[in-house]
Amino acid sequence: MPKATIAAMAFNLTRATGALVSPFHAKAETATIRAQLTSVPPHIARPARRIVLHLPRDRHWEHAFTQLFHHACQPHAPPAAA
């Protein structure tokens, strides 16, 4: 796949991420979305042989990141029968 295609896909996914989170992030630049939402440093723990990510608390954009997580992980409705 050409590099330009991959770059366009990454740009579009970043913009879609911003649109899901909030009106501010829907208008924000790509670098802002990357810095505030996708560059979150988790602490990895392994209790009971499971992988658990501990995210930083009291971060300025904690609510936006949580909202993005819920949008991405919520169950989707099945398609309507034709």
Our count of domains for the chain comes to 1
CA distances (Å), origin 46, targets 55, 67, 69, 76: 14, 25, 21, 29
Return the half-sphere exposure (C-beta side, CA atoms, 13 A cut-off) of residue 41.
0
pLDDT digits (tens, 9 = 90+) for 26-65: 999 989 988 888 777 777 888 888 878 777 777 777 778 7
Q: What is the pTM of this model?
A: 0.63
- The per-residue pLDDT of the chain, averaged, comes to 82
Residue 62: count of CB within 10 angstroms of its CB: 13
Say if 73 falls within a structural domain. Answer: no
> In which domain, by residue range, is 10 found?
3-67
Say if 82 falls within a structural domain. Answer: no
Q: How confident is the model at residue 74 (pLDDT cuts 50, 70, 90)?
A: confident
Say if 81 falls within a structural domain. Answer: no
